[in-house]
Amino acid sequence: MAVEDYVKAAQIGASVRSVAEDAVKPGAKLLDVAIEVENEIKSDGGEFAFPVNISINEIAAHYTPREGEETAFTERDVVKLDFGVHVNGFIIDQAFTVDLTGENGKLVEASRQALEDALSVMKAGANIRAVGAAIQKAIESRGFKPIENLCGHSLDEYLLHAGREIPNVAKGDYVLKEGDFFAVEPFATTGAGRVTEKSGESEIYSIVNPKPVRLPQSRSVLEYAMENFQTLPFCKRWLSEALPSKAGVELALRDLYRQEIVRDYPPLVEINKGLVSQAECTVMVEKDSVKVLG
């Protein structure tokens, strides 16, 4: 049953978050932290809803470390760690920010408070415009800007973005319904309040239009991704079991992208290179409130 699977995913997510929060510290390598978090998801009985995102400073989202990457956290970093767990396709999506600088506590607090304020107005019958307005007010009243072209999203079985949005500003007209599942994720920034794609650096992909392919490498990657991830996002470093050759993986993904079988998710960077904080949890909409799942 969907609700029980969400609850189990949330229980796993709580354990994973504890591990993740302890892992983010100066000197730790991004790749080691991502692998540790992903291993915790598996060992607790969950599956990956998407690759662990570890986005630093002006990068808001969609950064996952490359295979062999040596980048380590420093005391100059504001770190967003975003992870997802699914049980039988039902997804918990959550994120938090760690300020390793010790100087950006107000920015971190802005996204946290925006999340709390958003949840306080969410219930069946509430308009998402009111939710976005609460997020916007919480962030702007603290002297920062919400990132207006990022948003929370509805969740469904094996669908991370199921079609409905929770805006970070006052817009939209969807009315929340009892039983809706949403990931709510305010982003606050010291910059202009918009992100753009950092093209040419994608590590994350998902299948959007599966069809027969001719190249053996492409066929191997497609079959492996369909079997293991279905419609959910995956990353290059997860494909080593399908193709041990890094060059083969690159070739296959380029071919699949050219045929519009997969889409990519480039890192999203604040347009003025402002620092970014994020807070996120997953909720189920109830009659008079929301149930926070993780």
**Residue 69 CB neighbour total at 10 angstroms:** 15
For 284, half-sphere exposure in the C-beta direction (CA atoms, 13 angstrom radius) is 15
Q: What token pair was written down for 139?
A: 């962030």
The span from the CA of 57 to the CA of 40, in Å, is 25
CB neighbourhood size of 102 (10 A): 7
Q: Smallest Cα–Cα separation from 273: which of 57, 54, 97?
A: 57
The tokens for 91 are 């997804």
Give me the sheet containing 78-87, strands edge to edge. 47-56, 78-87, 90-99
How remote is the C-alpha of 208 from its chain's centroid? 18
Question: What is the 3 state secondary structure string of 258-285?
Answer: HCCCEEECCCEEECCCCCEEECEEEEEE
Would you say 289 and 125 are in contact if contact means Cβ atoms under 8 Å apart?
Answer: no
Q: What share of the chain is helix, strand, coil (3-state, %, to 5)?
A: 35, 30, 40
**Residues with catalytic annotation?**
82, 93, 153, 161, 185, 280
Q: How far apart are CA 128 and CA 149, in angstroms?
A: 15
Residue 163 CB contacts under 8 Å (≥ 6 apart), including other chains = 154
